[in-house]
Amino acid sequence: MPASQARSRARDRNNVLNRAEFLSLNQPLKGNQESRSSGRKQSGQAGAAGAQNSNPKERRQSQQLPEEDCMQLNPSFKGIAFNSLLAIDICMSKRLGVCANRASSWGGARSMINLLGITGHGIPWIAGTLICLVKSSTLAGQEVLMNLLLALLLDIMIVAGLQKLAKRKGPYDINPGLLDYLTMDTYAFPAGHASRVAMLSKFFLNHLVLAIPLRILLVLWALCVGFSRVMIGRHHITDVLSGFVFGYLQFRLVELIWMSSNTCQMLISIW
């Protein structure tokens, strides 16, 4: 037995892999394992403590960041088209705002453009409708005027509600006037003047007997009032176009809820 043990020890000494520099290849040192495992445990505990100390809002943001990055790097076709149309709308509206201030190219015509815009404001139209209603002596005239008053009030409420929802600013930083505050027309989308003149022109074309030249002038007046709001920098082009669309829809709504002559007489008697 002693001889066999001596021979095995000799073989172990002659084995190259048993040298100190090659021991790490055969089996890792226990000290290194313990140090690595302790380091991993400490880093894991530190990470867990940091995760516990971080707010839930930060964790949600960190989880959402990859998705947001993917959306920015790979935008959808609808998003690209919408942003492109929005940029074109803003650029064209700023170019057409030739009366936005006194220093603009058509700054001298700003007063005239503002006067044209007043012809499509809600307060003068409501006041004029009430005066005509008081002076009217025919049932047919009172019926038309009462429904016109209803249409004007609906226009103010609908446009004010839509503007509060959209809260879109105009292309230029222009403060609304006193009449605009009275009708709650303080935002850009949709254009209140455009919706009102579209509704009024359609109402008059349907319920008044007008000659062809007057019909053409009525339509031209509505278009001029609508786009005058772009010229003074209060609205974008899409605001005016959407105002025309909403004005037509308001006219259709008034036609659906049209008040009869008896209903109008009852309301007039109460008033």
SS3 187: coil
Token pair belonging to 57: 């809002």
87 pLDDT more than 60: yes
Q: Determine the Cα–Cα distance for residues 83 and 80; give it in Å rounded to an integer.
A: 5
What is the per-residue pLDDT across 100-112, written as a single tens digit (0 to 9) for each?
Answer: 887 778 878 888 8
Q: Locate the domains of the chain by residue range.
A: 109-270
* Distance linking the first and last C-alpha atoms of the chain: 129
Which residues are catalytic, by number? 193, 235
pTM over 0.75: no
Name residues whose C-beta falls within 8 Å of residue 16's C-beta, 6 or more positions apart in sequence: 22
Q: Which amino acid is at 137?
A: S
DSSP assignment of 6-45:
HHHHHHHHH-GGGSGGGHHHHS--HHHHHHHHHHHHHHHH
Query: Closest by alpha carbon to 193, among 145, 228, 233, 148?
Result: 228
Instruction: Report the pLDDT value the prediction gives residue 181, as an integer from 0 to 100.
Output: 82
CA-CA distance, 246 to 158, in Å (whole number)?
9
Residue 109 carries which DSSP code?
A: G
pLDDT tens digits for range 27-48 = 444 444 444 445 554 544 544 4
What CA–CA distances, in Å, run from 70 to 13, 53, 74? 61, 28, 6
Distance between CA atoms of residues 177 and 88, nearest Å: 27
| Amino acid identity, position 224 | C
pLDDT range class, residue 131, cuts 50, 70, 90 = very high
What is the model's pLDDT at position 16?
47
Residues 132-190: pLDDT tens digits? Answer: 998 988 898 899 999 999 999 999 999 999 999 998 888 887 777 777 788 788 888 99
How many angstroms separate the CA atoms of 229 and 240, rounded? 8
Q: Which of 131, 133, 153, 151 is nearest to 142 (CA)?
A: 133
Percent of the chain past pLDDT 90, that is, above it, reads 36
Q: Residue 55: is its pLDDT beyond 60?
A: no
